[in-house]
Structure 1
Amino acid sequence: MEEELKQTQSKLTKIVLFGPESSGKSSLAEALAEEYNTEWVPEFAREYLQEKYNDSAEVCEPSDLIPIAKGQIQLENKLAEKAKNYLFCDTNVLQTLTYAKVYYENFQSDVLEQCVEQHEYTYYFLTYIDTPWVADDLRDKPEQRSEMFSIFENALILRNLPCTILKGDLKQRLQTAKSIIKAI
């Protein structure tokens, strides 16, 4: 695997906020990092794709997926160096792969699959779709939230990854997450 796609190993508890668009991942990742006085990893794809859209009005294409994965991993590795005990990741390569399979029929990528298999995370918080939809230039499935949630849930189930579904407002989600983290 390319060096740019390798995850730096650490003793941190790495927790991924996972789920469909506009389901509260970023807000929760930031709140958890503040609660635990550590770092959170923003979603690299958001900045990358927004810049692409602003420059050319183009949306994500399969050729963007490896650069997105590289950017996400590099950002995660950089912030892991500064993190204390925990690192909260607002997405990971599994999220990228899951979206790719939704948007591109019969999508296959040995590179992304290898990343998903080799990267290690302690736990996943699957964010439910009971948050208000927030439209922007990149989000495009407001009518398919239930279907998208099921796709993300199945991605975790198929890989037998440890997870908890988080529902409610930010305060409720934070309380549930804290109780799970305490038990980890």
Structure 2
Amino acid sequence: MKQRTKIIAITGAESTGKSTLARALATHYNVPFVPEFARSYVEQLHRSYTYDDVIVIAKKQIEQYNEMLSQEPPLIILDTWLLITKIWLDVVYGKVPAWIDQAIKETRIDTFLVCDTDLPWVPDPVRENGGADREKLQQTYIRELKNYHFPFYTIKGNYEERKKAAIKVISSLD
């Protein structure tokens, strides 16, 4: 009998090593991963993003998830996910379409890995939430994970320590 695909979503505030961890886990398990879509989308805009842009990002995240799931790999690693986009909409625009909340409730994620803020924030042209905002958002992500009753583990330390901790969590899901 075919095993069910395990789905791991990586979340956390800006500059916490989410993309680095996603790539490392994909390499370790020799599986493809769903890269962060928002960053590449916003970088190519050459203007300030809008509410409609964030909606496009949300729809693409759902599309990428479904496309990856249809391939039936043993493991899916999501570098960020719709939960971050929901919070982004709420924090920046004060409104979130009901379909996003429903999609979050209906999407199967086996566990979330929350990258801790113990790595330094590194500014770049896309990042906008360092300092106290970063910590506030981190707590918002954790609160939302609890509100949706998603299992999650906080991943701390340097990049190698994070990778080892994440592998330990994923191995425990068998």
Q: TM-score, normalised by structure 1?
A: 0.86
Q: In 2, Cα distance between the equivalents of 1:51 and 1:170?
A: 28
> Which segments of 5 or more consecutive residues in structure 2 lack a partner in the other structure?
none
- Computed over aligned residues only, the root mean square deviation of the Cα atoms, in angstroms, reads 1.6
Q: In 2, Cα distance between the equivalents of 1:45 and 1:92?
A: 10
Q: Structure 1 stretches (4+) deviating beyond 4 angstroms?
A: none
Match of 1:65 in 2: 54
Match of 1:4 in 2: none
1:87, distance to aligned residue in structure 2 (A): 0.7
1:79 paired to 2:79? no
1:65, distance to aligned residue in structure 2 (A): 2.5
Q: In 2, Cα distance between the equivalents of 1:39 and 1:114?
A: 26
1:11 counterpart (4, 18, 27): 4
Q: In 2, Cα distance between the equivalents of 1:109 and 1:121?
A: 21
Q: Write the mapping of 1:6-45 to structure 2, written as runs, cut at 5 A.
A: 11-45=4-38
8 Å CA contact 1:29–1:89 kept in 2: the answer is yes
Q: Write the mapping of 1:120-131 to structure 2, written as runs, cut at 5 A.
A: 120-131=108-119
8 Å CA contact 1:17–1:90 kept in 2: the answer is yes
Q: Write the mapping of 1:141-156 to structure 2, written as runs, cut at 5 A.
A: 141-143=129-131, 144-156=133-145
1:118, distance to aligned residue in structure 2 (A): 1.1
Give CA-to-partner distance per residue, 1:35-66, whole Å, 9 cap, x none.
Answer: 101011111111111111x2xx21x3221222
Match of 2:86 in 1: 97
Q: In 1, Cα distance between the equivalents of 2:123 and 2:151?
A: 30
* Helix, strand or coil at the partner of 2:108: coil
- How many residue pairs match? The answer is 170
Q: TM-score, normalised by structure 2?
A: 0.90
Give CA-to-partner distance per residue, 1:67-126, whole Å, 9 cap, x none.
Answer: 111212222333345563111001111111012111123x13111111111111111001
8 Å CA contact 1:13–1:85 kept in 2: the answer is yes
8 Å CA contact 1:37–1:84 kept in 2: the answer is no
Give aligned-pair identity as a percent. 29
* Helix, strand or coil at the partner of 1:137: coil
* Helix, strand or coil at the partner of 1:38: coil
* Helix, strand or coil at the partner of 2:44: helix
> Which segments of 5 or more consecutive residues in structure 1 lack a partner in the other structure?
1-9
Give CA-to-partner distance per residue, 1:108-155, whole Å, 9 cap, x none.
Answer: 311111111111111100111111222111111112221111111111
Q: What is the letter of the counterpart of residue 23 of structure 2?
A: E
1:19, distance to aligned residue in structure 2 (A): 1.1
